Structure 1
């Protein structure tokens, strides 16, 4: 993982970070850290060490964990959020009360390891399609309670966010289309009810694709199309009379090794639930002394 280019990304909402941290610390500490209470409450020092190549992510949550228990703690970061680092890199040096450093250790590492894992996986996917014009999207397949944090980590890794939840976009899928009798009928109902929201339409056949493109929407999701159907879908969406006005998203059955071929077909987006669902935490440790 060479290079130090850091993608631009929107910062997390401080209120969400604070709420995430308060919930996690309450879960871990309960009515007090029985083991840390055995330590003398004196000044301490700790190093945050990354033990494998990674994209660093989660600093706001890490900082908030430690500052919640020791408002005077000093955290000297040696790397930037979103920076690629190699194994053995010291990410930060902390100076604070020894008890607070130990008590905050696991919760702060849980955030940092999980979010760095998501950012690292996203960066690998983004790199695979670099130069093609295809963008990598996340999904709603996130860890319960950590959706905003994980979607932030996707941005840090250079990816893009799909809808946050069920409230900020209309996404018509198979069951919605069946309920209204057709793709066009579902689109018309959605536009009439929530015209202010983005409209994404999932299609399962080329005929449904033509119907969605003709009726109009903000994006069409081609779900589980085989390579031949996918290429034909791109040709239809790019050709007359649609002329590429509505972008195409690929979803379903996407494997990492298959990303270059999918991107080469000319789709606009590839959405991948595994970025946030199949999380492998980055190996980090916090060492006192």
Structure 2
């Protein structure tokens, strides 16, 4: 992977080593144990070189161009070929693109271009789809203080990439996993004997870890902040209930509305005064942004 690609990944908060591992696993799915693209090897001379464009087939927000570049740059290494692919980015992550826009150009051995094509597009289309969906939420919340949050409802193995795509689309990451933030949910409350008991146990065991508490009533919200919580997840509450929570809690905690939210009701929930709207659909239900690889014919 080229230094410029690694720098671009780091600038976006991605670990190049983690991206390399994702790309290697994805290419292995396509190439099998012998790292072989039988169609390209059979139909294309080894010495043939071409240029191809990554082209948007729909309007949206692009994300993952450096990840796609990593695929093209690593495919030669994965297949045991010393020849390399040159990648030139035309667009930038976070840009709105239109159908027909060229996002990047790749030049190199034709076999490598076509071998890398599907893996690069799978990742780029997925990430751009998440960014596009997130931008729709960010636009819907524009003019309010509320921001859209993602969740842990991500594709196994792709969490870092999908959360990067959320950031690219204008959203915010809540937590990366079970290790960086303690989130006391209903089952934890039941197992521990209530909100206050669960909060105290977490704070005693992990005094430096941020603690968030899921609440379903105004009374639970008050109990949570009085116990010490400074971030509340208001689960499946109607806007009218959220207004009561905002009034009862004041500035003692940040508030997140969560549970079955849609773009159609985003403005109503934002108007209640909450700080965040949590949307699992950003990562579990975003359609891809259609992007294709077109070989130049001239």
- The bucket for the TM-score relative to the shorter chain is over 0.9
CA shift for structure 1 position 214: 0.8
Aligned residues: 276
- Structure 2 gaps of 5+ residues are 1-10, 77-82
Please point out which of 57, 63, 88 is paired with 1:57: 63
CA distance in 1, matches of 2:152, 2:138: 19
Conserved? CA contact 1:121–1:157, under 8 Å? yes
Taking structure 1 as the reference length, the TM-score comes to 0.93
TM-superposition CA deviations, 1:136-184 (whole Å, max 9, x none): 1000001111111100100110111011111111000111111222211
Deviation string, structure 1 residues 10-41 (Cα, Å, up to 9, x no partner): 43111111111000001111121100102112
1:17·1:60 contact (CA, 8 Å) conserved in 2? no
4+ long deviations beyond 3 Å: none
Matches within 5 A, 1:20-169: 20-30=22-32, 31=34, 32-38=36-42, 39-41=44-46, 42-70=48-76, 72-169=84-181
Q: Where does residue 241 of structure 1 map in the other structure?
A: none
Q: 1:219: which partner in 2?
A: 231
1: CA distance, partners of 2:252 / 2:227: 12
Q: Distance in 1 between matches of 2:12 and 2:224?
A: 32
The structural deviation recorded for 1:72 is 2.8
CA contact (8 A) 1:136 1:160 kept: yes
Normalised to the residue count of structure 2, the TM-score between the two structures is 0.90
1:175 aligned residue: 187
C-alpha root-mean-square deviation of aligned residues, in Å?
1.1
Counterpart in the other structure of 2:8: none
The alpha-carbon deviation at position 213 of structure 1 amounts to 1.1
Q: CA deviation at 1:245?
A: 2.5
Does 2:261 align with 1:254? yes
